Chains A and B, each alone.
Chain A
Amino acid sequence: MDLTYTPEEEEFRARLREWLAAVLPTLPPKPPPEDWPARRAYDLGWQRMLYDAGYAGLHWPVDAGGRGATPTQHLIFLEETEQAGAPYVGAGFVGLLHAGPTIAAEGTAEQRARWLPPILRGEQVWCQGFSEPDAGSDLAALRTRARRDGDDYVVSGSKIWTSHAEVADWCELLVRTDPSAPKHRGITWLAMPMDAPGITVRPLKTLAGSAEFAEVFLDEVRVPVGHRVGAENDGWRVTMVTLSFERGTAFVGEVIACRRVLGELAREARKNGRWDDPALRRRLGRLNAEFRALWRLTQWNVSEAERSGGVPGAGGSVFKLRYSHARQELYDAAADVLGAQALDLDRPWVPDRLSSLSYTIAAGTSQIQRNIVAERILGLPKGR
């Protein structure tokens, strides 16, 4: 147990901090949330700045165009960018955190050369076509069908919860290529160009009132066989190789942001008099303990990843369970601080309270996470 950083890591931090202080004031103003093309341009512009400064694909392997940084350096990067108020990965999320790493791990040399550099340089946006209306927690039950026709797959079906679909260039798509095989064995991973004929994107309005994701309908869409990553019917394994990355360091910035919000809540409570209520103070004190612990758990998971050569362990599920719940508690406490103003959508924290409701559902519901923890970590028998 040792929580110190090496001189090299401290130097990395200092250089990054200096760079952030220099470039962040030069950023254009943030675009309005409903203007998707402007958001795309803003997010890609930031990615290009990272690329030019040598910070793009920090944790990607060197032979995939990344910097081969250690998990600790990646942690420092996420910590410093969040604390400096730098933009989020935004529209680059799927490309940088899932599709890219999948191609890096499983793609051919040609596929890597074609798709990875534009992701790192901030030139192309990827979206994810995994879930379907009837394949949510049971993702492997997906039914979008791809049949071979010469050098193409012809794909028909529908996908749902696809973020950035309106502005994406590519979609990492899971399709069923063998309906007669057991459900995990008949799935294939394809890179689908979003301008192909037969694709219809219908934005979905969330309970927060914004269109954060979409349904994607596919009607006889032709995808060249050369766009397949991994072998036909091996798509489930190809996908799972990197799916766990979503749960490794994906929430680092958010935990830091939550700690900042907690401090702001305390200040607001002091200003509006709610601080005099001991029950509220105790609630905020507990949340302080909670987010301190979650930060330590993040460091723990990173140190595990470091030891195991970059592959995040099952600790990610424990973290995700705990964090998603804590985030909802945080914004419920915010409502307690705000009082009647908690019903005003123009107040800070109120929209965040709404969006926090997705956390116990997205990227594996809490119930599915508990199954994973119980079966894969504790070794309890499968069954319902």
Chain B
Amino acid sequence: MTRPVHFQLTDDQRALRDGVRELLEGRFGRQALRTALDTPGLDRTLWRELGEAGFFALRLPEAEGGVGVGLPEAVLAFEQAGRVLLPGPLVATHLAADARVPGAATGEAVVTAVQGGLVEWLDEADVVRGDASGAVPLRSVDPLTPLHRVPDGGGTAPPDVPLAVLLTAAEQLGSASRTCELAVQHARTREQFGRPVGAFQAVKHLCAGMLERVGTARAAVYAAAVTADPLDIAAARLLADEAALHGARDCLQVHGGMGFTWESDVHLHLKRAWVRARRSGDVTESEEILAGDLLADLPGATV
């Protein structure tokens, strides 16, 4: 019996995921990440390369020069971006390409958006979606995400907010998965008391907890990518935020003193995860949406 199996990636999806990972690891590997830390501003060359590779135009029809794939593919791509901590208003520009904002699809334009009372990369943006008037710069906790605060919250939210939340959740998932790997690598190689620290259950259980959260969040995020249901997206957001925030904290803990240094990448994951969690608005909103759902018809368990 031939059938599409739930959750198994198709060959095309696998190829796309691997292709994006290769591109990003090649073009924005650890060295580039550390260089970006010391180089203010957005790398426009990289931005155009992302555009040429179709990162922003993934979901545009092929007739319009897009890649013509769907939300699941976009989620796979953003997961990879989250893994390498790719900087820039990626979600806003991707959604702007959807809305046919000129130059967004090709990476000619950098597009940002007012989200959760903040604007990322305002000084680098060619286009701002939402009302950013009166925006005041703040000293961003994430060295790779310049931020402005919008005094009155930035007015009404654009209609593509659930998609922004989902793609952000995909980035959180990628980061969570990466911090789990970093923690495991460290636990395998760092020796104390004459053996790898990962041989101690206290450390082992931190790592197992990270994988548990990544696995659960991945199921939620991929399912939301298939259904695009606002409730699934709200659930995916909560699970992915938890996996990224808690994962980065535990990764830092596993790294011990080194985890507290600027030289380690762990803090970059944690700080970006804080920024992304804010981008999706108040957690309370997602929780209230999901609470309200409980009073609707009894939740059906089928897809």
Which DSSP category, helix, strand, loop or mixed, fits chain A's interface? helix
How many A residues, CB 8 Å from partner?
A: 64
In the complex, per-residue mask of A250-269: 1 if CB is within 8 Å of any chain B CB, else 0: 00000110011011011100
| Min CB–CB distance A357 → chain B (angstroms) | 20
Check B212 for interface membership: any CB of A closer than 8 A. yes
Cβ–Cβ contact B13 & A379, under 8 A: no
Check B290 for interface membership: any CB of A closer than 8 A. yes
Cβ–Cβ contact B8 & A285, under 8 A: no
| Min CB–CB distance B2 → chain A (angstroms) | 9
Interface residues in A168-195 by Cβ distance below 8 A to B read none
> What separation, in Å, do the CA atoms of A378 and B207 have in the docked complex?
8
> What separation, in Å, do the CA atoms of A267 and B299 have in the docked complex?
13
How many B residues, CB 8 Å from partner?
A: 63
Residue of A nearest to B183 (CB): A378
Cβ–Cβ contact A1 & B239, under 8 A: no
> What separation, in Å, do the CA atoms of A381 and B200 have in the docked complex?
9
In the complex, per-residue mask of B264-303: 1 if CB is within 8 Å of any chain A CB, else 0: 0000000000000000000010111111111100110111
User: Chain A contacts of B294 at CB under 8 A?
Assistant: 262-263, 265-266, 284-285, 288
Check B89 for interface membership: any CB of A closer than 8 A. no
Surface stretch bound by B, among A140-148, A204-212, A315-323: A315-323
Which DSSP category, helix, strand, loop or mixed, fits chain B's interface? helix
Check B226 for interface membership: any CB of A closer than 8 A. yes
Check B125 for interface membership: any CB of A closer than 8 A. no
Check B211 for interface membership: any CB of A closer than 8 A. yes
User: Chain B contacts of A18 at CB under 8 A?
Assistant: none
| Min CB–CB distance A381 → chain B (angstroms) | 4
Cβ–Cβ contact B215 & A282, under 8 A: no
Cβ–Cβ contact A370 & B290, under 8 A: no
User: Which of the listed residues A293, A297, A300, A322 has the most CB atoms from chain B within 10 Å of its own CB?
Assistant: A293
User: Chain A contacts of B286 at CB under 8 A?
Assistant: 285, 289
Check A374 for interface membership: any CB of B closer than 8 A. yes
> What separation, in Å, do the CA atoms of A384 and B193 have in the docked complex?
12
What are 16 A-B pairs with beta-carbon distances under 8 A? Answer: A1-B8, A260-B299, A262-B299, A263-B294, A266-B291, A285-B287, A293-B217, A297-B215, A322-B215, A322-B216, A367-B201, A371-B201, A371-B205, A379-B184, A380-B188, A380-B203
Known A285-B290, A289-B290; 20 more pairs at CB < 8 Å: A1-B7, A1-B8, A1-B72, A6-B1, A6-B3, A79-B301, A282-B287, A284-B290, A292-B220, A292-B235, A293-B217, A297-B216, A299-B6, A300-B222, A304-B7, A307-B8, A374-B205, A378-B184, A378-B208, A378-B211
Interface residues of A (CB under 8 A from B): 1-6, 8-9, 70, 72, 79, 82-83, 255-256, 259-260, 262-263, 265-267, 270, 278, 281-282, 284-286, 288-290, 292-297, 299-300, 302-304, 306-307, 315, 318, 321-322, 367, 369-371, 373-375, 377-384
